[in-house]
A = this chain, B = another copy of it.
Amino acid sequence: MIEQAVLLSTGDELTSGRVVDSNSAYIAGRLYTLGVRVAAVLKVGDDKDKLLWALGQAREMGNIVIGTGGLGPTADDLTTAIVARFLGVELVEDKHVLADLKGRGERHGIPWTSNAGKQTVFPAGATIIPNPVGSALGFNVEMGEGKRLFWLSGVPHEMAIMLNQTVLPWIVNRVVSEEIHEAVFKIHGLTEAQLDELVKPLELDRSTKLSFRAHFPDLTLRLTTIGGALEREHFVSLREQISALLRDFTYAQSDVTLEEVVGALLNQKRLTLALAESCTGGLIAHRITRVPGSSAYFVGGSVSYSNQEKIRALGVSPITLERYGAVSRETALEMSRGILERAGADIALSITGIAGPSGGSPEKPVGTVWASIASSQRHDAKLLRLLVSERERIIQGTSQAALNWLRQSLLEL
């Protein structure tokens, strides 16, 4: 049986534009890797009739329906009662859930309100879906004709845990009674179209999916195989082929950020980092310091936005600035050496470029960026040509390219 899913979500915040729904894209992405097609995504407000309509449509189009939202204790949270009505079953109180919720409330000194009772009842026949990080439990219930409805919390991180821990394993069991094998490739240096072109020749069998996710400047490729020993063998072979094919473009084979990879390398090699940023304006420092524990390896940096600051804070020579310009190999080299020595770090990265919209010239168009790395053992510079044109994308893309070059340099140290 080919599985077809329909995704539902409910909440007035979705139909009045107060919230961008990221849940459906997340769920669709996870289902796609299992080979489950999403036939449609339906969103309605907190409205009985609309939700009943959506449930009816979903059951008609899909054999797996995954809904989110409306499980809270307040009056506008209607989901559980509407689902019971749709299925023509009673609402049944779960004594374990009731005792557990009352216990939690007591421990936190929150008085029990009658509203909270809404979260302890479920449609008769439903199996409860645990929510390890919140009070809204989900449920899994038969819709007739072997079709299955899952309902999860609408809070994104609660939804993700409930989906990954309970729903996906259930689907995998039903679909193939086999395991999921998954490999992740975090990519830099390719556009989505180039990546697509590179992996196109790979021979995928029916148990295997390749999926992309692009969120500039981040690009992720995910290989998923569902199956037993034979499929696993195919998966391992494919993973190796992809690893070889994308060797020069892969900065990690797990779900981590580039700044986390750089941070782990600095930690591992017991090296400290300093930064000198001009056109990235502090973004690289911000990315480095988003990582918890970054104070162990990040000394600090200078956002030397003006020439005056490049001279004062980094010791760049006024003659260099005059002769070669602020955006030049020579200035980048003096910036990295300057911050390395002054901050007393083991390695330093500098950036100077033209983020636009103004400031470009025929020789140095907007998107021209020089980066430099300095350490006691090396001192070189690299021209980054950003092929995007918006200021924000140049700044973001530069931070990514520079962090990737820093990563490569750390591997060689």
Contacts A17-B32, A303-B282 given; indicate if A356 touches B292 (C-beta within 8 A).
yes
Q: Total interface residues on A, using CB and 8 Å? A: 76
Secondary structure class of chain A's binding surface, majority of residues: mixed
Contact A301 B303 (CB under 8 A): yes
Give how many copies assemble into the complex.
2
Q: Which residues of B contact A300 (CB under 8 A)?
A: 302-306, 308-309, 313
Contact A17 B213 (CB under 8 A): yes
Is A27 an interface position by the 8 A CB rule? yes
Q: How far is the CB of A280 from chain B (nearest CB, A)?
A: 8
Contact A290 B286 (CB under 8 A): no
Choose, from A37-45, A84-92, A132-140, A242-250, the stretch at the interface.
Answer: A37-45
* B interface footprint on A1-39 (CB within 8 Å = 1, 0 otherwise): 000000000000011111111101111111110000111
* B interface footprint on A211-234 (CB within 8 Å = 1, 0 otherwise): 111100000000000000000000
Contact B29 A18 (CB under 8 A): yes
Is A343 an interface position by the 8 A CB rule? yes
Residue of B nearest to A41 (CB): B43
A355 to B357, CA, bound (A): 34
- A residues with a Cβ closer than 8 A to B are 14-22, 24-32, 37-45, 50, 53-54, 57, 61, 211-214, 275, 277, 279-286, 288-290, 292-295, 298-306, 308-309, 312-313, 342-344, 355-358, 391-392, 395
User: 20 A-B pairs, CB-CB below 8 angstroms?
Assistant: A15-B28, A17-B29, A17-B32, A20-B21, A20-B22, A39-B50, A40-B42, A41-B42, A41-B44, A277-B282, A277-B285, A280-B286, A281-B282, A281-B285, A282-B282, A282-B301, A289-B305, A292-B357, A292-B391, A309-B343
Identify the 3 closest CB pairs spanning chains A and B, nearest first: A17-B29, A281-B289, A282-B285
